[in-house]
Structure 1
Amino acid sequence: MPQGPFAKRPCGDGKASADVSVVHFTEDFWGAQFLSLPENKGIKNLLNRARRGLQPIGAGVPKIGELVEQITRAEGSRKIILLMEVLIAIAAAEETKVLASLGFQHNFQESEKDRINAIYNYSIENFKKKITLEEIASVANISPNSFCKFFKSRSKKTYSRFINEIRVGSACKLLINNQMNVKEICYESGFYNFASFHKYFKEITGKSPLSYQKCYVKK
C-alpha cells in the first residue's frame, strides 16, 4: 500500500466546513492474485470501469460516504476491511456516472503522476483563493505556457474548468449541509462573483444552487 493511504483534507472551519476524504491505494496492494478470485469479480470490474473516474448515484451514496469517513478514523486491518466494503458498495450502486471523456489519458509515466498529484493536492488545499497560472505552473515545475498544454492533454479540460469543478463540488456539500445562505457559500467555495458562481454551478451540475439544494434538503 502506498504511503499515507487514508487521508482527510479539511477545506474550511466549523460546522460549515467542507472536507475531502482521499483514499489512496494501488490496484495490486492486496496481492497479484486477489482480484483474480471469482468472488472479487465485481471489484475487479469496478476498478476497470473507474479508470476514467466514477460517481456513484442513488440511495446508497450516503452509506458510501459514511464508510469512507470510517476509513479515515480506523486503525490497522480495519481500514482494509472498510475499503473492501466501500468498493463493494460502489459496485452495487444503482447507477454510476463516468467523470472523464473517452480520450482521458490515465497511463501516465511516474514523473507525470507526481506532477499530476502535486497539481491535484495543491488545488484541493487552495481552491478557496485565487490561483494564478504562474502559481500552479510553479507547483508543476513547468512554464505557464507548457502547463496549459500539459494539463489539457492529460485531463481533456482546462485548469480553469478543473478548479471550478472543485469549487462547485465544495458548494454542493455546503448546500446539502444547509448551514449557510447561497451567497455565503459562493464566497466560501472560492468564487468572488455571484454571477460567475451561478453560471458555473448550473453549467457543471445542470441545476441552479437553490434547485440543487431542494433536491437534498427537506424543509
Structure 2
Amino acid sequence: MPNNVMHEITPLTPNDCFTIFNRVKTKFDFPLHYHDEYELNLLINASGAKRVVGGNIETIGDVDLVLIGPNLYHAWFDHDCTSTEIIEVTIQFHRDLFDEKFLSRNQMNFVKSMLDKSLRGITFTPEVINTVKDRLLELDKKNGFLSVLELLTILHHLSVAPDTRTLSEWSFSSDRLNSNSRRVQKVFDYLNSNYTRPVTLAEVSRIANMPEASFSRFIKRRTGKTFIDSLNEIRLGHASRLLIDSTATVAEIAYKCGFNNISNFNRIFKRKKSCNPKVFRETYTDNRVFV
C-alpha cells in the first residue's frame, strides 16, 4: 500500500449493521483512502469527475455506482466536473454483516459472488443504476429491520444485474494484509471491549497465549500494524462515532475512548484522518445515519 493512501477509520461500531452518508456537495475533497468495510457509493450530477479504484482510473458520467470491497483504495477527484450540486450516497457495512454460513446458502450465491468480486471494485451500468438510485436515495429514511432488509434486497438486485464490470487488478487489494485468524479475532474482540482503559501489550499477549515479543511480530505480520496502532485505530473508530453521534466535548470523548491526554488524541486523530476532531465533527454532523 503506498504511503500516501489514508486508512480511513469509519465510525461503525460492532453493534451497527451499516451507515449511510447522504449529502449534496460542490466538489470532491476526500483523499485517496481505504477502510475495512464494504462501500456502495452512488454519485449523481458528477459528470467529468475522475474515479480511482485500485489500479483503475476513469472519468465518470452523470451517474456512477460502485461497490468497493474491504481495503481496496479509492477516491473521486473533480477533474473535469463542473457541477455545483453533486449528490452522493455512501453506504458502508461490516465485512461480517453477512457471515460465511449465510452467504453459502443457495439463495445467496449471487450476492456472495458479487462481494468476492468487489475486492477488485465493481461498477454498474447507467441502466442498472437508474433501477436502484431512488431506493438508495431513500434508504436513510427507513429504520431498523426494514432498512437492513432493503439493503439486502438492493444488493441482491445488483448481484444479478447484467453487464457489471470489475475495475482493478488483484494486486491492488490490500485485503491480503488482513487475517481471519481466530487468535487475531480474539485479540480484537478483547480490544473492542477494553479500549476505554489502559491496555498493555502484556495482557493482550496473554489473551493470545503468546510471549510479548512473539505477539508483537505476529500482529504486525497479520495486520500490517503494531499493537499500539491497532489499539489506537479501535479507539479512533469509537471516538469518530461519538463525535458524530453525541454532543460531548472533544476532550470528554478523548478520555472516554482511552486516550490519556487531549494533545495526544488530537495529534493521532489528525495524522490518521487528515483533519482535526472539530473539522471532522462539522463535516459529518446531520449527514450520517447509523442502523
The TM tier, using the shorter chain, reads 0.5 to 0.7
| Secondary structure of the structure 2 residue equivalent to 1:29 | helix
Aligned length: 168
How far does residue 194 in structure 1 lie from its aligned partner after superposition?
0.9
1:114 maps to 182
The unaligned stretches of length 5 or more in structure 2 are 1-13, 17-92, 121-135, 160-172, 287-291
Larger relative contact order (C-alpha < 8 A, sep ≥ 6)?
Answer: 2
What code does the residue aligned with 1:8 have?
Answer: N
What code does the residue aligned with 1:202 have?
Answer: K
Q: Which has the larger radius of gyration?
A: 2
Asked if 1:29 corresponds to 2:102, the answer is yes
Which residues in structure 2 correspond to 1:6-155 (within 5 Å)?
Answer: 8=15, 25-31=98-104, 33-37=106-110, 40=111, 44-49=113-118, 63=139, 70=144, 81=149, 84-85=152-153, 87=155, 101=174, 103-106=176-179, 113-155=181-223
Instruction: Give the alignment's TM-score, normalised by structure 2.
Output: 0.48
After superposition, the CA RMSD in angstroms is: 3.7
Instruction: Give the alignment's TM-score, normalised by structure 1.
Output: 0.62
With over 3 angstroms needed to count, the CA separation of the structure-2 counterparts of 1:49 and 1:148, relative to structure 1, is: farther
With over 3 angstroms needed to count, the CA separation of the structure-2 counterparts of 1:217 and 1:36, relative to structure 1, is: closer
Q: Supply the distance in 1 between the matched residues of 2:158 and 2:227 (Cα, whole angstroms).
A: 28
With over 3 angstroms needed to count, the CA separation of the structure-2 counterparts of 1:61 and 1:114, relative to structure 1, is: farther
Instruction: Specify which structure has the higher proportion of helix.
Output: 1
Contact 1:103–1:156 under 8 Å retained in 2: no
How far does residue 62 in structure 1 lie from its aligned partner after superposition?
10
How far does residue 178 in structure 1 lie from its aligned partner after superposition?
3.5
Instruction: Specify which structure has the higher proportion of strand.
Output: 2
1:3 maps to none
1:18 maps to none
Q: Residue 264 of structure 2 is aligned with which of 180, 183, 196?
A: 196
With over 3 angstroms needed to count, the CA separation of the structure-2 counterparts of 1:139 and 1:90, relative to structure 1, is: farther
Identity of aligned residues (%): 26
After superposition, the C-alpha distances for 1:17-40 in whole angstroms (9 at most, x for unaligned) are xxxx97564335344644544xx4
Q: Supply the distance in 2 between the matched residues of 1:162 and 1:44 (Cα, whole angstroms).
A: 30
With over 3 angstroms needed to count, the CA separation of the structure-2 counterparts of 1:212 and 1:138, relative to structure 1, is: same
With over 3 angstroms needed to count, the CA separation of the structure-2 counterparts of 1:115 and 1:62, relative to structure 1, is: farther
1:156 maps to 224
The unaligned stretches of length 5 or more in structure 1 are 1-6, 10-20, 52-59, 92-99
